[in-house]
A and B are shown apart, each in its own frame.
Chain A
Amino acid sequence: MTGIHIEAVNKVFTGAGGDVVALKDINLTIGSGEFVCLLGPSGCGKSTLLNAIAGFSHPTSGRILAGTTPVSKPGPERGMVFQEYALFPWMSIEQNIAFGLEIAGRPAAAIRERVDVLLNMLGLHDFRARFPKDLSGGMRQRVAIARVLALDSPIMLMDEPFGALDALTRRNLQDELLKIWKQFGTTIVFVTHSIEESIYLADRTIVMTYRPGTIKRDVRIALPRPRDPSAPEFNRLKRELGELVMEEQQRHHQAEMAATTAD
């Protein structure tokens, strides 16, 4: 299994309105098999950091290692689950899950077997021949997770994967994800702006600051699983993290107000 090392990463976006420092001096080591949440208001660079780990964008300076390999481009060893699901609508559920295996050149029989296992594991068996448009958001996200699991990615990157789901479906998928994580020993980096979600899921929650994106606090969540969101300790953490996030949310708000008056 594989950890992630982020070393002195900076990311500057150059635009017509001047430079925006999205990430500033990020140093972070994520252990193999660790479940880490990136938490913060919008504009704090959490998705930028995730995209850099995925290899979709390159840091302006510094470097990112997946295991011992520097990240230079996207690859199946760092599987991504997108908020918008990003399933291929012209492929059936089965074909969506099999696509990465076909790209990897696995033999047909092995692909079929693997897909069968995943369909069963995620409760998608009855939907194998259906198309994404026939599925609810929760079901679609299961397919997206299965697509990443198919490739045995040691690292799974998740960009607000449950953000668009209703509360019950969300809890359901969170539990399922924890089960999968435990079973596969995957390293997970999970972007969210939900404080509760990060406490419910993560071993560690990284709170990020609003522009420039830096690491404000690295909080270890040592609660035993399954976690009870109504437990006093859970709520103490929620308050603590809530205050940290709120400070950044305020800065975000003020920056927006300033930008509006400047116009």
Chain B
Amino acid sequence: MNLSLLKKLLHGGIVPLVALVLWQLLSAGGLINPQILPSPLAVLHKWIAYLAPAEAYTPQLGSYARWLVSGELLHDTYSSISRVLGGFLIGAALALPLGLLMGANQTVYKLFNPLLQVLRPIPPIAYIPLSILWFGLGNPPALFLISIGSFFPILMNTIAGVRQVDGIYIRAARNLGASQMTMFRRVILPAATPYILTGARIAMGTAFIVVIVAEMIAVNDGLGFRILEAREYMWSDKIIAGMLTIGMCGLAIDMAMSALNNHLLSWHRGLEH
């Protein structure tokens, strides 16, 4: 391993390491009730148990690979992430066309803007009672809440993105004889992409917050459900193990968004203007 990477790891790892050691010492010394704050080793232990399949492997359970991923943690993670993606896609599918239209057309903007400005400050969480009334329990209210959380960031950024398109690109495209449709598809849309992707990234973050809340209230699986369930049994180690998993999923999603961003915007990096 090269030396500078080692140095970097050491540099970034030292504070978490000290925190972990202190935490372990406090818990092991019996200073803190393990039901309030379990030791990091206990959390790790629980996390592994949570990850592992519930029963030992027997051929009746089907293929080995399926058994291997049958643990509760993977199931919950899968449920939460598929809800995030589903809700996000619904929100984006509504926000993107509306945002493009509102950004490009002043009449459409004036028609929709007043209503949207009233709805926008309402936190997605405030829709919970209504969503249960409308959709009952289960996935539909969760998807509804997540799509609302994703909708506004993408909408606002798309409108801004279309409006900030530099007039010089429009003039150049008109000069080349571009039709309205070509202008929109090949000039306005790509020029607005950096803004739209920023909106998508914010939306993803909101979706991730909303999914946890929605699972605590409306459904009975997923990471949000699981940590609330663990509280009823006073399993603080499982609560913390679940929270750490939520953190890791959030980080993974954000890294994926960032990679997508860099891929789509390779033309944009370091652009003057």
Contact = CB atoms under 8 A, between A and B. Distances in A.
Interface of A: 54, 56, 73-76, 78-80, 82, 84, 86-91, 99-100, 103-104, 131-133, 147, 151
Contacts of A151: 176
Contact of B175 (A76, A104, A131, A133): A76
Contacts of B173: 88, 99
Contact of A88 (B169, B179, B270): B169
Interface stretch (B60-68, B100-108, B261-269): B261-269
B268 A84 contact: no
Contacts of A86: 168-169, 171-172
Q: Which 8 pairs from chain A and chain B are nearest by CB?
A: A100-B176, A86-B172, A90-B190, A131-B267, A76-B177, A74-B174, A86-B168, A80-B175
A131 B177 contact: no
A133 B186 contact: no
B169 A103 contact: no
Contacts of A54: 175
Contacts of B186: 88, 99
B118 interface: no
Given A89-B268, A103-B179, 20 more contacts: A56-B174, A74-B175, A75-B175, A79-B175, A80-B172, A80-B175, A86-B169, A86-B171, A87-B172, A88-B172, A90-B191, A90-B268, A91-B267, A99-B173, A100-B177, A103-B176, A103-B178, A133-B267, A133-B270, A133-B272
A104 B177 contact: yes
Nearest to A99: B176
A151 B273 CA distance: 27
Contacts of B182: 103
Contacts of B273: 89
Q: Tell me which of B175, B191, B267, B273 has the highest count of chain A C-beta atoms within 10 A of its own C-beta.
A: B175
For chain B, give the interface size range.
Answer: 20 to 34
A91 B266 CA distance: 11
B187 interface: yes
A55 to B, nearest CB: 8
A132 B168 CA distance: 15
Interface of B: 168-169, 171-179, 182, 186-187, 190-191, 193, 266-273
Q: Tell me which of A56, A90, A132, A133 has the highest count of chain B C-beta atoms within 10 A of its own C-beta.
A: A90
A91 B268 CA distance: 10
Nearest to B187: A88
Contacts of B191: 90
A82 B168 contact: yes
Given A84-B168, A103-B182, A90 B177 contact: no
A56 B186 CA distance: 20
B198 to A, nearest CB: 16
A147 B273 CA distance: 21
Contacts of A99: 173, 176, 186
Nearest to A88: B169
A91 B177 CA distance: 17
B22 to A, nearest CB: 48
A133 B269 contact: yes
Contact of A82 (B172, B176, B271): B172
Given A90-B191, A131-B266, A75 B177 contact: yes
A74 B174 CA distance: 6
A78 B182 CA distance: 19
Nearest to B177: A76
A84 B172 CA distance: 11
Nearest to A79: B175
Contacts of A132: 267
B233 to A, nearest CB: 54
A88 B190 CA distance: 9
Nearest to A104: B177
Contacts of A91: 267
Nearest to B183: A103
Contacts of B266: 131
Contact of B177 (A84, A89, A103): A103
A74 B171 contact: yes
